[in-house]
Structure 1
Amino acid sequence: MENLSFFTAGDGSRHAYRMGGAAGKPVLVLSNSIGTTLHMWDDQVQELSRHFRVLRYDTRGHGASSVPAGPYSLARLGQDVTELLDSLDIERAHFLGLSLGGIIGQWLGIHAPARIDRLILSNTSPFLGPADQWDERIASVLHAEDMSETAETFLRNWFPARMLEARDPVVERFRAMLLATNRHGLAGAYAAVRDTDLRGDLARISRPTLVIAGQYDTVTAASHSELIAESIPGARLLVLPAVHLSNIEYPSEFLVAVLGFLSS
Protein backbone atom coordinates (compact mmCIF):
# COMPACT_ATOMS: atom_id res chain seq x y z
CA MET A 1 0.00 0.00 0.00
CA GLU A 2 1.30 3.47 -0.89
CA ASN A 3 2.10 5.85 1.95
CA LEU A 4 -0.40 8.52 2.89
CA SER A 5 0.93 11.98 2.03
CA PHE A 6 -0.44 15.48 2.45
CA PHE A 7 -0.37 18.78 0.57
CA THR A 8 -1.69 22.20 1.51
CA ALA A 9 -4.12 23.90 -0.88
CA GLY A 10 -4.15 27.61 -1.66
CA ASP A 11 -6.78 28.31 1.00
CA GLY A 12 -4.69 26.61 3.70
CA SER A 13 -6.67 23.34 3.86
CA ARG A 14 -4.69 20.09 4.14
CA HIS A 15 -5.42 17.23 1.77
CA ALA A 16 -4.51 13.55 1.94
CA TYR A 17 -3.36 11.59 -1.10
CA ARG A 18 -1.62 8.37 -2.11
CA MET A 19 0.60 7.85 -5.15
CA GLY A 20 1.49 4.40 -6.46
CA GLY A 21 2.91 2.79 -9.58
CA ALA A 22 6.24 3.14 -11.32
CA ALA A 23 7.67 6.59 -11.92
CA GLY A 24 7.66 7.49 -15.61
CA LYS A 25 4.26 5.96 -16.33
CA PRO A 26 1.36 8.26 -17.30
CA VAL A 27 -0.46 9.67 -14.26
CA LEU A 28 -4.08 8.67 -13.58
CA VAL A 29 -6.00 10.67 -10.96
CA LEU A 30 -8.89 8.90 -9.19
CA SER A 31 -11.62 11.01 -7.58
CA ASN A 32 -14.20 9.62 -5.17
CA SER A 33 -17.92 9.61 -4.60
CA ILE A 34 -19.32 11.87 -1.91
CA GLY A 35 -19.28 10.15 1.49
CA THR A 36 -16.27 7.97 0.66
CA THR A 37 -12.48 8.14 0.80
CA LEU A 38 -9.67 7.23 -1.58
CA HIS A 39 -10.18 3.64 -0.36
CA MET A 40 -13.20 3.31 -2.66
CA TRP A 41 -10.60 2.47 -5.35
CA ASP A 42 -8.70 -0.16 -3.32
CA ASP A 43 -9.89 -3.04 -5.52
CA GLN A 44 -8.74 -1.32 -8.73
CA VAL A 45 -5.40 0.16 -7.64
CA GLN A 46 -3.23 -2.93 -8.07
CA GLU A 47 -4.25 -3.48 -11.69
CA LEU A 48 -4.28 0.22 -12.59
CA SER A 49 -0.81 0.65 -11.08
CA ARG A 50 0.58 -1.84 -13.59
CA HIS A 51 -0.18 0.68 -16.33
CA PHE A 52 -0.22 4.08 -14.61
CA ARG A 53 1.20 6.19 -11.83
CA VAL A 54 -2.04 6.22 -9.80
CA LEU A 55 -2.83 9.31 -7.75
CA ARG A 56 -5.88 9.17 -5.48
CA TYR A 57 -6.91 11.69 -2.87
CA ASP A 58 -9.49 12.41 -0.20
CA THR A 59 -11.88 15.15 -1.28
CA ARG A 60 -11.92 18.10 1.12
CA GLY A 61 -14.13 17.33 4.10
CA HIS A 62 -13.63 13.58 3.65
CA GLY A 63 -11.26 10.91 4.96
CA ALA A 64 -7.92 12.21 6.21
CA SER A 65 -8.28 15.60 4.47
CA SER A 66 -9.14 18.60 6.60
CA VAL A 67 -12.72 19.79 7.04
CA PRO A 68 -12.79 23.52 6.30
CA ALA A 69 -16.00 25.39 7.01
CA GLY A 70 -18.57 24.99 4.24
CA PRO A 71 -20.24 25.51 1.94
CA TYR A 72 -17.78 24.23 -0.67
CA SER A 73 -17.90 25.30 -4.31
CA LEU A 74 -17.28 23.06 -7.29
CA ALA A 75 -14.58 25.48 -8.45
CA ARG A 76 -12.77 25.00 -5.15
CA LEU A 77 -13.02 21.20 -5.45
CA GLY A 78 -11.60 21.45 -8.96
CA GLN A 79 -8.80 23.75 -7.86
CA ASP A 80 -7.88 21.23 -5.16
CA VAL A 81 -7.03 18.83 -7.99
CA THR A 82 -5.01 21.30 -10.06
CA GLU A 83 -3.13 22.45 -6.94
CA LEU A 84 -2.40 18.82 -6.02
CA LEU A 85 -0.98 18.30 -9.52
CA ASP A 86 1.06 21.49 -9.15
CA SER A 87 2.47 20.31 -5.82
CA LEU A 88 3.71 17.12 -7.48
CA ASP A 89 5.00 18.86 -10.64
CA ILE A 90 2.48 16.97 -12.78
CA GLU A 91 1.61 18.99 -15.85
CA ARG A 92 -1.06 16.69 -17.26
CA ALA A 93 -2.92 13.54 -16.17
CA HIS A 94 -5.75 11.21 -17.05
CA PHE A 95 -8.71 11.73 -14.72
CA LEU A 96 -11.32 9.19 -13.57
CA GLY A 97 -14.07 10.45 -11.28
CA LEU A 98 -17.18 8.70 -10.00
CA SER A 99 -20.30 10.54 -8.81
CA LEU A 100 -19.01 13.74 -7.11
CA GLY A 101 -15.61 12.83 -8.58
CA GLY A 102 -17.25 12.84 -12.01
CA ILE A 103 -18.74 16.28 -11.37
CA ILE A 104 -15.24 17.48 -10.49
CA GLY A 105 -14.01 15.83 -13.70
CA GLN A 106 -16.57 17.75 -15.75
CA TRP A 107 -15.41 21.02 -14.16
CA LEU A 108 -11.79 20.18 -14.98
CA GLY A 109 -12.68 19.31 -18.57
CA ILE A 110 -14.43 22.68 -18.94
CA HIS A 111 -12.10 24.95 -16.93
CA ALA A 112 -8.70 23.21 -16.89
CA PRO A 113 -8.47 21.21 -20.15
CA ALA A 114 -4.71 21.74 -20.42
CA ARG A 115 -4.27 19.64 -17.27
CA ILE A 116 -6.31 16.69 -18.53
CA ASP A 117 -5.29 14.05 -21.07
CA ARG A 118 -8.21 11.61 -21.14
CA LEU A 119 -11.35 11.98 -19.03
CA ILE A 120 -13.58 9.26 -17.58
CA LEU A 121 -16.88 10.33 -16.02
CA SER A 122 -18.59 7.51 -14.15
CA ASN A 123 -22.06 7.46 -12.57
CA THR A 124 -22.31 11.21 -12.51
CA SER A 125 -24.44 14.15 -13.61
CA PRO A 126 -24.05 17.75 -14.75
CA PHE A 127 -27.05 18.82 -12.65
CA LEU A 128 -28.84 17.27 -9.67
CA GLY A 129 -31.59 19.75 -8.86
CA PRO A 130 -33.76 21.07 -7.42
CA ALA A 131 -31.71 23.00 -4.87
CA ASP A 132 -34.20 22.68 -2.01
CA GLN A 133 -33.65 18.90 -1.75
CA TRP A 134 -29.99 19.61 -1.00
CA ASP A 135 -30.88 22.23 1.60
CA GLU A 136 -33.03 19.58 3.29
CA ARG A 137 -30.17 17.08 3.22
CA ILE A 138 -27.72 19.63 4.61
CA ALA A 139 -30.08 20.46 7.49
CA SER A 140 -30.76 16.77 8.10
CA VAL A 141 -27.13 15.67 8.28
CA LEU A 142 -26.11 18.63 10.45
CA HIS A 143 -28.89 18.02 12.98
CA ALA A 144 -28.90 14.20 13.05
CA GLU A 145 -27.81 12.42 16.20
CA ASP A 146 -25.18 10.49 14.25
CA MET A 147 -24.37 9.35 10.70
CA SER A 148 -26.22 6.02 10.85
CA GLU A 149 -29.43 7.08 9.05
CA THR A 150 -27.44 9.00 6.42
CA ALA A 151 -25.23 5.95 5.89
CA GLU A 152 -28.22 3.65 5.36
CA THR A 153 -29.74 6.04 2.82
CA PHE A 154 -26.50 6.15 0.85
CA LEU A 155 -26.09 2.37 0.90
CA ARG A 156 -29.63 1.84 -0.42
CA ASN A 157 -28.82 4.23 -3.27
CA TRP A 158 -25.45 2.67 -4.02
CA PHE A 159 -25.95 -1.12 -3.93
CA PRO A 160 -28.48 -3.64 -5.25
CA ALA A 161 -30.81 -5.28 -2.74
CA ARG A 162 -29.03 -8.65 -3.08
CA MET A 163 -25.76 -7.17 -1.78
CA LEU A 164 -27.47 -5.29 1.04
CA GLU A 165 -29.49 -8.30 2.18
CA ALA A 166 -26.41 -10.54 2.15
CA ARG A 167 -24.46 -7.99 4.26
CA ASP A 168 -21.76 -8.29 1.60
CA PRO A 169 -18.31 -7.44 3.08
CA VAL A 170 -17.84 -4.69 0.48
CA VAL A 171 -21.08 -3.05 1.67
CA GLU A 172 -19.75 -3.13 5.23
CA ARG A 173 -16.54 -1.44 4.03
CA PHE A 174 -18.56 1.42 2.57
CA ARG A 175 -20.81 1.59 5.64
CA ALA A 176 -17.68 2.13 7.75
CA MET A 177 -16.50 4.91 5.41
CA LEU A 178 -19.86 6.66 5.63
CA LEU A 179 -20.10 6.38 9.41
CA ALA A 180 -16.62 7.90 9.72
CA THR A 181 -17.42 10.83 7.41
CA ASN A 182 -17.48 14.23 9.08
CA ARG A 183 -21.00 15.67 8.85
CA HIS A 184 -19.66 19.17 8.14
CA GLY A 185 -17.55 17.85 5.26
CA LEU A 186 -20.56 16.04 3.84
CA ALA A 187 -22.73 19.15 4.16
CA GLY A 188 -20.05 21.26 2.48
CA ALA A 189 -19.91 18.85 -0.46
CA TYR A 190 -23.73 18.70 -0.66
CA ALA A 191 -23.66 22.47 -1.19
CA ALA A 192 -21.22 22.12 -4.09
CA VAL A 193 -23.60 19.67 -5.77
CA ARG A 194 -26.61 21.90 -5.01
CA ASP A 195 -25.01 24.89 -6.72
CA THR A 196 -23.78 23.02 -9.81
CA ASP A 197 -25.33 23.15 -13.26
CA LEU A 198 -22.86 22.27 -16.01
CA ARG A 199 -25.39 21.35 -18.69
CA GLY A 200 -24.75 24.47 -20.77
CA ASP A 201 -20.97 24.02 -20.65
CA LEU A 202 -20.50 20.34 -21.49
CA ALA A 203 -19.96 21.04 -25.20
CA ARG A 204 -16.81 22.96 -24.21
CA ILE A 205 -15.11 19.74 -23.08
CA SER A 206 -12.58 18.93 -25.77
CA ARG A 207 -10.67 16.08 -24.12
CA PRO A 208 -11.34 12.47 -25.21
CA THR A 209 -14.08 11.33 -22.84
CA LEU A 210 -15.60 8.03 -21.73
CA VAL A 211 -18.89 8.17 -19.84
CA ILE A 212 -19.86 5.14 -17.71
CA ALA A 213 -23.46 4.78 -16.50
CA GLY A 214 -25.31 2.39 -14.21
CA GLN A 215 -28.47 1.00 -15.79
CA TYR A 216 -30.16 0.89 -12.37
CA ASP A 217 -28.60 4.03 -10.89
CA THR A 218 -31.24 6.05 -9.00
CA VAL A 219 -28.80 8.80 -7.93
CA THR A 220 -27.25 9.79 -11.25
CA ALA A 221 -29.62 8.15 -13.69
CA ALA A 222 -28.37 6.61 -16.93
CA SER A 223 -30.23 9.39 -18.76
CA HIS A 224 -27.84 11.89 -17.13
CA SER A 225 -24.87 10.00 -18.57
CA GLU A 226 -26.56 9.89 -21.95
CA LEU A 227 -26.92 13.68 -21.84
CA ILE A 228 -23.23 14.08 -20.95
CA ALA A 229 -22.13 11.75 -23.75
CA GLU A 230 -24.40 13.47 -26.30
CA SER A 231 -23.13 16.92 -25.26
CA ILE A 232 -19.37 16.27 -25.29
CA PRO A 233 -18.01 16.06 -28.85
CA GLY A 234 -16.84 12.52 -29.63
CA ALA A 235 -17.60 11.11 -26.17
CA ARG A 236 -18.19 7.38 -25.77
CA LEU A 237 -20.91 5.90 -23.52
CA LEU A 238 -20.85 2.57 -21.68
CA VAL A 239 -23.89 1.42 -19.67
CA LEU A 240 -23.25 -1.33 -17.11
CA PRO A 241 -26.08 -3.24 -15.35
CA ALA A 242 -25.06 -1.58 -12.08
CA VAL A 243 -26.60 0.71 -9.48
CA HIS A 244 -24.30 3.60 -8.46
CA LEU A 245 -20.84 2.19 -7.72
CA SER A 246 -20.05 0.57 -11.07
CA ASN A 247 -16.39 0.00 -10.10
CA ILE A 248 -17.52 -2.11 -7.13
CA GLU A 249 -20.47 -3.99 -8.61
CA TYR A 250 -18.87 -4.78 -11.99
CA PRO A 251 -15.13 -4.47 -11.29
CA SER A 252 -13.89 -6.56 -14.24
CA GLU A 253 -16.06 -4.86 -16.84
CA PHE A 254 -15.22 -1.46 -15.35
CA LEU A 255 -11.46 -2.09 -15.49
CA VAL A 256 -11.59 -3.45 -19.04
CA ALA A 257 -13.42 -0.32 -20.18
CA VAL A 258 -11.09 2.06 -18.32
CA LEU A 259 -7.88 0.40 -19.51
CA GLY A 260 -9.16 0.04 -23.06
CA PHE A 261 -10.13 3.69 -23.27
CA LEU A 262 -6.95 5.04 -21.67
CA SER A 263 -4.69 2.95 -23.88
CA SER A 264 -6.55 3.61 -27.15
Structure 2
Amino acid sequence: MTPLHHEVSGPADGPPLVLGPSLGTSTAVWGQQLPGLSRDFRTIAYDLPGHGGSATGPPRDTGDTGDTGDTTVADLAGLVLSVADGLGLDRFHYAGISLGGAVGAHLAAHHPDRVASLALVCSSAHFGPPGPWRERARLVRDQGTAPLLDTAPDRWFSDESLAATGTGRRLLDALAATAPAGYAACCDALAAYDLRDRLADITAPTLVVGGSRDMATPLPHARELAAGVPRSTLEVLECGHLAAEAPSPLLETLRRHLGRAPTP
Protein backbone atom coordinates (compact mmCIF):
# COMPACT_ATOMS: atom_id res chain seq x y z
CA MET A 1 0.00 0.00 0.00
CA THR A 2 1.15 3.54 -0.71
CA PRO A 3 1.61 5.44 2.58
CA LEU A 4 -0.42 8.57 3.22
CA HIS A 5 1.40 11.89 3.46
CA HIS A 6 0.97 13.27 6.96
CA GLU A 7 2.21 16.21 9.00
CA VAL A 8 2.98 15.91 12.71
CA SER A 9 3.03 18.93 15.01
CA GLY A 10 2.70 19.72 18.68
CA PRO A 11 4.47 18.31 21.75
CA ALA A 12 5.99 14.87 21.24
CA ASP A 13 4.51 13.70 24.55
CA GLY A 14 1.07 15.22 23.93
CA PRO A 15 -2.04 13.07 23.49
CA PRO A 16 -2.17 12.03 19.82
CA LEU A 17 -4.94 13.54 17.68
CA VAL A 18 -5.44 12.34 14.09
CA LEU A 19 -7.10 14.86 11.75
CA GLY A 20 -8.93 13.63 8.64
CA PRO A 21 -9.69 15.88 5.64
CA SER A 22 -12.68 16.11 3.36
CA LEU A 23 -12.85 15.02 -0.27
CA GLY A 24 -10.92 17.34 -2.59
CA THR A 25 -9.03 19.15 0.16
CA SER A 26 -5.78 18.52 2.02
CA THR A 27 -4.26 19.12 5.44
CA ALA A 28 -5.01 22.79 4.67
CA VAL A 29 -8.64 22.21 5.67
CA TRP A 30 -7.42 22.09 9.29
CA GLY A 31 -5.11 25.10 8.90
CA GLN A 32 -7.21 27.41 11.05
CA GLN A 33 -7.45 24.94 13.94
CA LEU A 34 -3.97 23.41 13.90
CA PRO A 35 -2.16 26.15 15.88
CA GLY A 36 -4.70 25.90 18.68
CA LEU A 37 -4.89 22.12 18.72
CA SER A 38 -1.15 21.56 18.51
CA ARG A 39 -0.50 23.54 21.67
CA ASP A 40 -1.64 20.59 23.76
CA PHE A 41 -1.97 17.68 21.34
CA ARG A 42 0.40 15.80 19.09
CA THR A 43 -1.57 16.37 15.89
CA ILE A 44 -1.27 14.10 12.88
CA ALA A 45 -2.98 15.62 9.83
CA TYR A 46 -3.08 13.37 6.77
CA ASP A 47 -3.92 13.69 3.09
CA LEU A 48 -6.24 11.28 1.29
CA PRO A 49 -4.81 9.28 -1.65
CA GLY A 50 -4.04 11.59 -4.58
CA HIS A 51 -4.71 14.65 -2.42
CA GLY A 52 -2.13 17.10 -1.11
CA GLY A 53 1.17 15.32 -0.60
CA SER A 54 -0.20 11.75 -0.85
CA ALA A 55 0.51 9.69 -3.94
CA THR A 56 -2.56 8.19 -5.59
CA GLY A 57 -1.40 4.60 -5.23
CA PRO A 58 -4.13 1.98 -4.91
CA PRO A 59 -5.35 1.32 -1.37
CA ARG A 60 -5.54 -2.28 -2.56
CA ASP A 61 -2.64 -3.88 -4.38
CA THR A 62 -4.49 -4.06 -7.70
CA GLY A 63 -2.40 -2.00 -10.06
CA ASP A 64 -0.41 1.21 -10.33
CA THR A 65 -3.07 3.82 -10.99
CA GLY A 66 -5.52 3.55 -8.12
CA ASP A 67 -8.27 3.72 -10.75
CA THR A 68 -9.90 0.44 -9.77
CA GLY A 69 -13.45 1.55 -8.98
CA ASP A 70 -13.60 -0.55 -5.81
CA THR A 71 -11.97 1.63 -3.14
CA THR A 72 -13.87 1.61 0.15
CA VAL A 73 -13.81 3.67 3.34
CA ALA A 74 -12.40 0.54 5.00
CA ASP A 75 -9.41 0.79 2.66
CA LEU A 76 -8.87 4.43 3.62
CA ALA A 77 -9.21 3.55 7.31
CA GLY A 78 -6.55 0.89 6.85
CA LEU A 79 -4.18 3.49 5.45
CA VAL A 80 -4.79 5.72 8.47
CA LEU A 81 -4.05 2.82 10.81
CA SER A 82 -0.79 2.30 8.92
CA VAL A 83 0.15 5.91 9.66
CA ALA A 84 -0.71 5.44 13.33
CA ASP A 85 1.24 2.19 13.49
CA GLY A 86 4.24 3.84 11.86
CA LEU A 87 4.19 6.51 14.57
CA GLY A 88 3.80 3.93 17.34
CA LEU A 89 0.28 5.05 18.27
CA ASP A 90 -1.80 2.28 19.79
CA ARG A 91 -4.66 4.63 20.65
CA PHE A 92 -5.53 8.17 19.55
CA HIS A 93 -8.19 10.85 19.39
CA TYR A 94 -9.69 11.33 15.93
CA ALA A 95 -11.45 14.27 14.28
CA GLY A 96 -12.55 14.29 10.65
CA ILE A 97 -14.45 16.51 8.24
CA SER A 98 -16.95 14.90 5.83
CA LEU A 99 -15.17 11.90 4.24
CA GLY A 100 -12.48 12.26 6.92
CA GLY A 101 -15.25 11.88 9.48
CA ALA A 102 -16.53 8.74 7.75
CA VAL A 103 -13.05 7.24 8.01
CA GLY A 104 -13.01 8.01 11.73
CA ALA A 105 -16.49 6.56 12.26
CA HIS A 106 -15.43 3.36 10.50
CA LEU A 107 -12.36 3.13 12.73
CA ALA A 108 -14.40 3.71 15.88
CA ALA A 109 -16.98 1.08 14.89
CA HIS A 110 -14.55 -1.59 13.65
CA HIS A 111 -11.43 -0.86 15.74
CA PRO A 112 -12.81 0.54 19.02
CA ASP A 113 -9.60 -0.24 20.86
CA ARG A 114 -7.74 2.32 18.72
CA VAL A 115 -10.04 5.37 19.03
CA ALA A 116 -10.10 7.19 22.39
CA SER A 117 -12.57 9.83 21.21
CA LEU A 118 -14.22 10.82 17.96
CA ALA A 119 -15.31 14.11 16.39
CA LEU A 120 -17.42 14.06 13.22
CA VAL A 121 -17.57 17.45 11.49
CA CYS A 122 -20.14 18.01 8.71
CA SER A 123 -20.14 14.28 8.09
CA SER A 124 -22.64 11.47 7.65
CA ALA A 125 -23.31 7.78 8.16
CA HIS A 126 -24.44 7.59 4.52
CA PHE A 127 -23.72 10.19 1.84
CA GLY A 128 -26.70 9.40 -0.37
CA PRO A 129 -27.27 6.96 -3.23
CA PRO A 130 -24.19 5.65 -5.07
CA GLY A 131 -25.21 6.82 -8.54
CA PRO A 132 -24.16 10.50 -8.29
CA TRP A 133 -20.83 9.53 -6.70
CA ARG A 134 -20.11 7.01 -9.46
CA GLU A 135 -21.01 9.66 -12.04
CA ARG A 136 -18.66 12.18 -10.43
CA ALA A 137 -15.91 9.57 -10.35
CA ARG A 138 -16.36 8.95 -14.10
CA LEU A 139 -16.34 12.69 -14.81
CA VAL A 140 -13.11 13.27 -12.90
CA ARG A 141 -11.40 10.24 -14.40
CA ASP A 142 -12.28 11.63 -17.82
CA GLN A 143 -11.76 15.37 -17.32
CA GLY A 144 -9.88 15.84 -14.05
CA THR A 145 -11.08 18.07 -11.22
CA ALA A 146 -11.34 21.23 -13.36
CA PRO A 147 -15.12 20.83 -13.96
CA LEU A 148 -15.67 20.85 -10.18
CA LEU A 149 -13.96 24.17 -9.48
CA ASP A 150 -16.91 26.37 -10.46
CA THR A 151 -19.38 24.52 -8.24
CA ALA A 152 -17.10 23.78 -5.26
CA PRO A 153 -17.62 27.19 -3.54
CA ASP A 154 -21.39 26.63 -3.55
CA ARG A 155 -20.95 23.14 -2.05
CA TRP A 156 -18.29 24.08 0.47
CA PHE A 157 -19.10 27.59 1.69
CA SER A 158 -22.33 29.17 2.86
CA ASP A 159 -20.92 32.51 1.66
CA GLU A 160 -19.29 32.11 -1.74
CA SER A 161 -17.21 35.24 -1.17
CA LEU A 162 -15.09 33.09 1.13
CA ALA A 163 -13.63 31.56 -2.03
CA ALA A 164 -11.67 34.79 -2.61
CA THR A 165 -10.04 34.75 0.84
CA GLY A 166 -6.73 33.13 1.66
CA THR A 167 -8.49 30.16 3.24
CA GLY A 168 -10.82 29.72 0.28
CA ARG A 169 -8.03 29.96 -2.28
CA ARG A 170 -5.93 27.37 -0.45
CA LEU A 171 -8.84 24.93 -0.41
CA LEU A 172 -9.72 25.47 -4.06
CA ASP A 173 -6.06 25.19 -5.06
CA ALA A 174 -5.94 21.84 -3.27
CA LEU A 175 -8.94 20.67 -5.29
CA ALA A 176 -7.34 21.82 -8.56
CA ALA A 177 -4.13 19.93 -7.70
CA THR A 178 -5.84 16.68 -6.66
CA ALA A 179 -4.95 13.69 -8.86
CA PRO A 180 -8.03 12.53 -10.80
CA ALA A 181 -7.52 8.86 -9.91
CA GLY A 182 -7.26 9.66 -6.20
CA TYR A 183 -10.34 11.89 -6.20
CA ALA A 184 -12.34 9.34 -8.17
CA ALA A 185 -11.28 6.51 -5.85
CA CYS A 186 -12.55 8.52 -2.88
CA CYS A 187 -15.85 9.08 -4.72
CA ASP A 188 -16.10 5.30 -5.10
CA ALA A 189 -15.53 4.97 -1.35
CA LEU A 190 -18.35 7.42 -0.63
CA ALA A 191 -20.65 5.61 -3.06
CA ALA A 192 -20.26 2.35 -1.14
CA TYR A 193 -20.28 3.83 2.37
CA ASP A 194 -23.17 3.11 4.73
CA LEU A 195 -22.46 2.84 8.45
CA ARG A 196 -26.01 3.35 9.67
CA ASP A 197 -26.35 -0.17 11.02
CA ARG A 198 -23.04 0.06 12.93
CA LEU A 199 -23.42 3.44 14.68
CA ALA A 200 -24.47 1.74 17.92
CA ASP A 201 -21.13 -0.10 17.92
CA ILE A 202 -19.22 3.18 18.39
CA THR A 203 -18.29 3.30 22.08
CA ALA A 204 -15.88 6.26 22.02
CA PRO A 205 -17.13 9.60 23.36
CA THR A 206 -18.27 11.32 20.17
CA LEU A 207 -18.80 14.94 19.16
CA VAL A 208 -21.02 15.52 16.14
CA VAL A 209 -20.72 18.98 14.57
CA GLY A 210 -23.38 20.03 12.08
CA GLY A 211 -23.39 23.14 9.94
CA SER A 212 -26.64 25.09 9.97
CA ARG A 213 -25.98 26.17 6.36
CA ASP A 214 -24.35 22.95 5.15
CA MET A 215 -25.86 22.05 1.77
CA ALA A 216 -23.68 18.95 1.15
CA THR A 217 -24.49 17.15 4.41
CA PRO A 218 -27.48 19.04 5.85
CA LEU A 219 -28.34 18.94 9.54
CA PRO A 220 -30.45 15.74 9.31
CA HIS A 221 -27.18 13.89 8.59
CA ALA A 222 -25.66 15.20 11.83
CA ARG A 223 -28.82 14.44 13.79
CA GLU A 224 -28.82 10.87 12.47
CA LEU A 225 -25.23 10.41 13.62
CA ALA A 226 -25.96 11.84 17.06
CA ALA A 227 -29.09 9.71 17.44
CA GLY A 228 -27.25 6.54 16.44
CA VAL A 229 -24.00 6.88 18.40
CA PRO A 230 -24.67 6.12 22.09
CA ARG A 231 -22.12 8.46 23.73
CA SER A 232 -22.52 11.45 21.46
CA THR A 233 -23.10 15.19 21.72
CA LEU A 234 -24.47 17.32 18.88
CA GLU A 235 -23.22 20.87 18.34
CA VAL A 236 -24.60 23.08 15.56
CA LEU A 237 -22.40 25.86 14.16
CA GLU A 238 -23.34 28.67 11.78
CA CYS A 239 -21.33 27.43 8.81
CA GLY A 240 -21.32 25.57 5.52
CA HIS A 241 -19.89 22.18 4.66
CA LEU A 242 -16.23 22.61 5.63
CA ALA A 243 -16.94 24.81 8.67
CA ALA A 244 -14.52 27.32 7.14
CA GLU A 245 -16.77 30.20 8.20
CA ALA A 246 -16.51 29.21 11.87
CA PRO A 247 -12.83 28.51 12.60
CA SER A 248 -12.84 29.74 16.19
CA PRO A 249 -16.16 28.15 17.22
CA LEU A 250 -15.02 24.83 15.74
CA LEU A 251 -11.71 25.01 17.59
CA GLU A 252 -13.43 25.85 20.87
CA THR A 253 -15.95 23.04 20.42
CA LEU A 254 -13.20 20.53 19.65
CA ARG A 255 -11.10 21.62 22.61
CA ARG A 256 -14.06 21.25 25.01
CA HIS A 257 -14.76 17.78 23.63
CA LEU A 258 -11.13 16.68 23.83
CA GLY A 259 -10.78 18.11 27.32
CA ARG A 260 -13.53 15.78 28.55
CA ALA A 261 -12.26 12.70 26.66
CA PRO A 262 -10.09 10.02 28.25
CA THR A 263 -6.36 10.26 27.58
CA PRO A 264 -5.27 7.73 24.90
Fold equivalence (TM over 0.5)? yes
> Does 2:237 match 1:240?
yes
> Does 2:130 match 1:131?
yes
Counterpart in the other structure of 2:63: none
1:204 positional shift: 0.6
> Does 2:167 match 1:170?
yes
Q: Is the 8 A contact 2:51 2:174 kept in 1?
A: no
Q: Is the 8 A contact 2:29 2:242 kept in 1?
A: no
1:130-164 CA-partner distances (Å, limit 9, x unpaired): 111112111111222x5332122222100123525
SS at match of 1:56: strand
SS at match of 1:89: coil
> Does 2:145 match 1:147?
yes
| 2-structure distance, mates of 1:256, 1:161 | 22
Q: Is the 8 A contact 2:145 2:176 kept in 1?
A: yes
SS at match of 1:200: helix
Counterpart in the other structure of 2:61: none
Q: Is the 8 A contact 1:29 1:94 kept in 2?
A: yes
| 1-structure distance, mates of 2:125, 2:210 | 13
> Does 2:46 match 1:57?
yes
| 1-structure distance, mates of 2:242, 2:48 | 17
1:10-54 CA-partner distances (Å, limit 9, x unpaired): x2x132111111111100110000101112112211111111011
Regions of 4+ moved over 4 Å: none
Question: Letter of the aligned partner of 1:156 in structure 2?
Answer: D
Q: Aligned ranges for residues 61-80 of structure 1 at < 5 Å?
A: 61-68=50-57, 69-70=66-67, 71=69, 72-80=71-79
1:76-133 CA-partner distances (Å, limit 9, x unpaired): 1011111111111111110000000000011011011111111000000111221111
Question: Letter of the aligned partner of 1:236 in structure 2?
Answer: T
| TM-score normalised over the length of structure 2 | 0.91
| 2-structure distance, mates of 1:138, 1:162 | 24
> Does 2:28 match 1:39?
yes
Q: Is the 8 A contact 2:3 2:79 kept in 1?
A: no
Identity of aligned residues (%): 34
**The one of 250, 258, 261 aligned to 1:262:** 258
1:234 positional shift: 2.3
1:144-195 CA-partner distances (Å, limit 9, x unpaired): 2x5332122222100123525x722321111111110111110000000000
SS at match of 2:52: coil
Residue range with higher mean Cα deviation, 150-159 or 236-245 = 150-159
Counterpart in the other structure of 1:6: none
Any gaps of 5 or more consecutive residues in structure 2?
58-65
Any gaps of 5 or more consecutive residues in structure 1?
1-10
Counterpart in the other structure of 1:192: 189
Question: Letter of the aligned partner of 2:32 in structure 1?
Answer: D
Tell me which of the two structures has the higher relative contact order, counting C-alpha pairs closer than 8 angstroms and 6 or more residues apart: 2
SS at match of 2:113: helix
| 1-structure distance, mates of 2:83, 2:179 | 22
Q: Is the 8 A contact 1:61 1:189 kept in 2?
A: no
**Paired residue total:** 250
| 1-structure distance, mates of 2:31, 2:240 | 19
| 2-structure distance, mates of 1:111, 1:162 | 37
**The one of 241, 249, 252 aligned to 1:253:** 249
SS at match of 1:54: strand
Counterpart in the other structure of 1:108: 107
| 1-structure distance, mates of 2:80, 2:95 | 12
Counterpart in the other structure of 2:60: none
Counterpart in the other structure of 2:94: 95
Superposed CA RMSD = 1.3
SS at match of 1:113: coil
| TM-score normalised over the length of structure 1 | 0.91
| 2-structure distance, mates of 1:57, 1:51 | 19
